[in-house]
Structure 1
Amino acid sequence: MKSLRFHWICLFLLSVCLLLWYNHVMRSGLAMKTGLRGYVRVHPNTRSASYFLDFRCGRCAVVSSSGQMLGGARGQEIDGHDCVIRMNAAPSIGYEADVGNRTSLRVVSHTSVPHLVRQQGYFFGREAETRYVIWGPEKNMREDGKGKIFNALVTLAKKYPQSHIYTVTREKVQYCDSVFQNETGKNRMKSGAFLSTGFFTMILALEVCDSVLVYGMIDGSYCSNANHSFVPYHYYEPSRLEECRMYRTHEHAKRGGHRFITEKLIYSRWASQGKLRFVYPPWSQQEHQQD
């Protein structure tokens, strides 16, 4: 009888151990599968151990790099959001009063990665907790050793193993192309256009945030108004390019241009759905309701 009881106790303990082990395995597997599949982390050695961007937020501030931010004194308001999303290598130091100080996530073009490399102490030191999402064409992002930008990201990941660096997958880039085509009726590649960092940022923000409040982005009709004032393209380069001139040049470029104005018209339709709002400068209600 004692032997039988001992047998059942051992069997029970073994069952508990197996159950705990199975639960651990399932939780670990689930952790690897959660997140957004279009954004994959860069690891120092191999991408086989990569996992997807696991980022969720309630109320997000998307901060444009536009000169529209200058003099707005919206920094404290921006920092009051649950998350702050910035673009490319736009700095906050020296501009805190206007653009805020916090950075939760940065969406970065392949063309801006050299800026991250040159200022890596700032981006991966001061902003060590920031998640970086890098997009770029296949030739720069390929993982066979020939992707110049991807190689630079691997080098950064090796030097800063606690960093959070992600790339936009080829499938996600193709998805963004399809969104552009569905919204405009134009094939992005055939029309000679490149999607802007702002476009990738908007799509990502709408995926991960419950609500998106945008700062520093003008509406699609701003540059056509005769009385619009001179505004620099970037708030941190006040004496260089003029925003509307840059927009018009790109909008009408036959090849290699960002369709900034067209993209703003797309955003206005998205804003009519209620999750996206342009708070500074405020977009007119009429702009939001355009079809």
Structure 2
Amino acid sequence: MSQRTIGMYCPSACATFLCHLYNTMAKACSLLKVAAVSTGILCFVCFYHSLYNGVSLKFPTVLSKGPAPPRTHPTSKFIQPSLPKCDPVGPKIAASSSLSELFIKTTRILWNKDTRKLGPIVRDYWMNLIRRNRGSLEQALDDLFRVVPGRDVFAEWRKRGCLRCAVVGNSKNMLGSGYGSSIDANDVVFRMNRCPTEGYEKDVGSKTTFHVVYPASAHAYQPGGRLFLVPFKVPDLQWLTSAFTSNVTYKIPYDTYRRRPPASVDANASQVVILHPDLMYETKIGTHGRTRSYPSTGVMILFASLHLCDEVSVYGFGFGSHGEFGHYYNKSAGNPHTSHDTNVETQLRERLEKENIIRVYKGRYPE
């Protein structure tokens, strides 16, 4: 029925008002129809244009409540797209009946203001580790943490993504290995004691995140990596403090060292980290039991990395094919440290490798 026809049937005032209202609404509906059709045509054109130009359109949804969820795309520099999905060592160790007992969940890895207090068992072990251990531990720690904060950078780094670490030893089997690029691809690279990289980049890489030393081996420290101290006695803590400041109230007993440590080191005190005696004790019990031998620096850092990192790769450990001992940076063969049980440490690495907890790169031994 048309508008004109309806108007013919409105003789009364009320009917006239109703007819006028109807006519107005009809005109409004006509305008809305035109707007709807125009909007539809415009949306179709925009959609076709977006497809043609490869642009992704995002339309709001009326069903969502609250803010949009955060993006899950990794932006951390620690994520390596070329590597497989992260395979953390923690769950695998916990699931291993033969290895879970070696790792103590409450073990503290780094020594700083928050972890300075030692339990009675660990304190007794550490204070008697070296016979020439003398001096006040409390005073040494007070002085040390005024200069070296020893903050845990790993807690921050692990939040950024899968933290892949390389523990790089100094075995002669690194020569000719070609592991350099593989080592440098890791997020964190640990190197121990004397570990020159210049001239050996193809085999040992050039990246150093942490240079692990004890005072007598600090002569070999190379600027560029963070200094990582393994302390065996109170004078080691005193030495570290004195290496960064002359404001000390005691005389360092240098007679407790077979080789006198350097008076200073070219390192950043704010980036120095210190291995905790808890970890040293855990490594001792897990490898050498209650024998008089104590773990090597290399195996202690291996234990530490299993606590601190998501994935761990090991390079440059072990002997040659004929049982020879030596370092990649010199030609002469050396002798293994008599205080370490190398057979026990080798067996531990083999167990960790067998259970797919670490990757071991055995290198080669030139004839």
Provide the TM-score with structure 2 as the length reference: 0.49
Matches of residues 88-237 of structure 1 in structure 2 within 5 Å? 88-116=193-221, 123-124=222-223, 127=224, 130-143=225-238, 145=250, 146=252, 148=254, 155-156=264-265, 160-161=267-268, 164-181=271-288, 186-187=289-290, 191-218=291-318, 228-229=321-322, 233-237=326-330
Counterpart residue type for residue 348 of structure 2? I
Q: Does 1:69 align with 2:174?
A: yes
Shift of 1:73: 1.4
Cα 1:70–1:138, aligned 2, differ >3 Å: closer, same or farther? Answer: same
In 1: Cα distance, 2:177 partner to 2:167 partner? 15
1:265 aligns with 2:347: yes
Q: Residue by residue, what CA displacement relative to the aligned partner does 1:146-203 show, whole Å, maximum 9, x if unpaired?
A: 46599968943xx64456222223333233323235xxxx31xxx3313101111101
Q: Which residue of 2 aligns with 1:24?
A: none
**Pair 76,92 (structure 1): closer, same or farther in 2 beyond 3 Å:** same
Please say which structure displays the higher CA radius of gyration.
2
Contact 1:70 1:98 in 2 (8 A): yes
Q: Which secondary structure does the structure 2 equivalent of 1:112 belong to?
A: helix
- 1:68: Cα distance to partner? 0.4
Greater CA drift, 44-53 or 95-104 = 44-53
| C-alpha distance in 1 between matches for 2:355 and 2:146 | 38
Equivalent residue, structure 1, for 2:111: 40
CA contact (8 A) 1:78 1:84 kept: yes
Distance 1:103 1:142, change over 3 A: closer
Q: How many aligned positions are there?
A: 210
Counterpart Cα distance in 1 of 2:267 and 2:165:
27
Distance change in 2, residues 1:203/1:192 (3 Å): same
For the residue of structure 2 that corresponds to 1:91, the secondary structure is coil
Task: Note the C-alpha offset of 1:270.
Answer: 2.4
Is the 8 Å Cα contact of residues 279 and 300 (structure 2) preserved in structure 1?
Answer: no
Give the deviation of 1:230 after TM superposition.
7.3
Structure 2: how far apart are the matches of 1:109 and 1:135? 5
Measured after TM superposition, the shift of residue 114 of structure 1 is: 3.1
- Indicate conservation of the 8 Å contact 1:141/1:147, yes or no: no
Structure 2 unmatched runs, 5+: 1-106, 114-140, 239-248
Q: Give 3-state SS (helix, strand or coil) of 1:85's partner.
A: strand
Q: Which residue of 1 aligns with 2:151?
A: 52
Distance change >3 Å, CA 41–CA 139, structure 1 → 2: closer
> Secondary structure at the residue paired with 2:207?
coil
The residue type paired with residue 98 of structure 1 is: D
CA RMSD, 1 decimal: 3.5
Code of the residue aligned with 1:236 in structure 2: it is Y
Q: 1:77 to 1:45 in 2, by over 3 A?
A: same
| Residue 239 (structure 1) shift | 2.3
SS at match of 2:360: strand
Distance 1:105 1:160 in 2: 11
CA drift of 1:64 comes to 1.3
Q: In structure 1, the residue corresponding to 2:310 is in which secondary structure? A: strand
The answer as to whether partners of 1:37 and 1:53 remain within 8 angstroms in 2 is: no
Q: The residue matched to 2:284 in structure 1 has which SS?
A: helix
The letter for the 1-side match of 2:110 is: Y
Alpha-carbon spacing, 1:172–1:232, altered in 2? closer, same or farther (3 Å): closer
8 Å Cα contact 2:168/2:190 also seen in 1: yes
**Structure-2 change in CA distance of 1:65 and 1:163 (3 Å):** farther
Matching residue of 2:191: 86
Q: Judge conservation of contact 1:68–1:231 (CA < 8 Å) in 2.
A: no
* Residues 270/232 of structure 1: CA separation in 2 closer, same or farther (3 Å cut): closer
Change over 3 Å in CA distance of 1:162–1:169 after alignment to 2: closer
Residue 75 of structure 1: CA displacement? Answer: 0.9
SS of the equivalent of 1:106 reads strand
Q: Partner of 1:21 in structure 2?
A: none
Paired with 2:174 and 2:323, the residues of 1 have a C-alpha distance of 13
